[in-house]
Structure 1
């Protein structure tokens, strides 16, 4: 797959990550188009007819899952790889039911992405035990994301999480949970 010249579309709202991944995959021989919004993804998919799409699950607060069906309607043979920093079993199941070919938790390097794109799905991929996210880590990541979305405002974040402000402050005062 290293000598591939097939078109690949990257859809990720994180500009830095998108650019780094695009450069890396271009060096691996792909014709890369990288966009940051759902609308741009649909336009690029119509213009490029990509063989592969690397799709971020969280696009500026909106679910990338909502893009899977429209992208596949435009380009039915496309293999979609969903990337996310907030991996969970329900989203994996949803992504696969909607037609995604694979699902990876961030941080995923280029080798992981290439392996996932090449995987024909004949074997169920298992995340190595040491890379699985614990419930505590998932909670921590989710709280930090909501806090960032509310500009660091504790009261607004607590309301969004339907959590008492003091409980949120207590959780934030603790160190990030370990991987065990």
Structure 2
């Protein structure tokens, strides 16, 4: 197996609205040799990317002012060789696929420790993910379908609700919840 082409500069942008987690991860990544910059919002993350695109990024999916995928997209446009990882507590297949299409190299569920983040960034993890032991529940399959349609509608709640024949407020409540097991 060949080693991935890693950016030579070890600049790392961390974007997360959980300040304690952000601080802990920043310290852990600094001990691993990264020069870390932090942002707590999508707007701050995009501004950091615009000023000086980092070689690496770890971006939370759901932030107070929007979707972390916007930061990934801006980073990939500014610096195609950058390696970005998406972190989320709201994991689903549709957003993982979208993240990869926008330039992310991996998608980790929270809580992720610094070792997992480092492995994802540097490509030093295993080549294949293990197969799941249990199939998805019916609730999880429904959740995944809703998320896929939501992504296909460019995260437009009204259009998604129309296509799913669902009331918009009901859809908003579903989207605000964590994914079922």
TM value normalised by structure 2: 0.66
1:10 is aligned to 2:14:
yes
Q: Which residue of 1 is the match for residue 92 of structure 2?
A: 88
Q: Which runs of 5 or more residues in structure 2 are unaligned?
A: 1-7, 144-167, 175-179
Q: Distance in 2 between matches of 1:47 and 1:16?
A: 25
State the 1:161 CA deviation. Answer: 3.2
Q: Which residue of 1 is the match for residue 42 of structure 2?
A: 38
Q: Which residue of 2 is the match for residue 26 of structure 1?
A: 30
- Alignment coverage as a number of residue pairs: 145
Q: Which residue of 2 is the match for residue 150 of structure 1?
A: none
Residue 101 of structure 1: SS of its match in structure 2?
A: strand
Q: Which residue of 1 is the match for residue 122 of structure 2?
A: 118
Tell me if structure 2 keeps the 8 A contact 1:81–1:117: yes
Aligned partner (choices 142, 150, 170) of residue 161 of structure 1: 170
Tell me if structure 2 keeps the 8 A contact 1:5–1:29: no
- If you compute each CA radius of gyration, which structure gives the higher value, 1 or 2? 1
1:69 is aligned to 2:78:
no
Q: Which residue of 2 is the match for residue 155 of structure 1?
A: none
Tell me if structure 1 keeps the 8 A contact 2:55–2:82: yes
RMSD: 3.5
CA shift digits 1:118-170 (9 cap, x unpaired) = 118994x426647998676897xxxxxxxxxxxxxxxxxxx843599xxx9xx
Q: Which residue of 1 is the match for residue 110 of structure 2?
A: 106
TM value normalised by structure 1: 0.66
Q: Distance in 2 between matches of 1:163 and 1:50?
A: 34
1:135-174 superposed matches below 5 A: 160-161=169-170
State the 1:103 CA deviation. Answer: 0.7
Residue 95 of structure 1: SS of its match in structure 2?
A: helix
Residue 104 of structure 2: SS of its match in structure 1?
A: coil
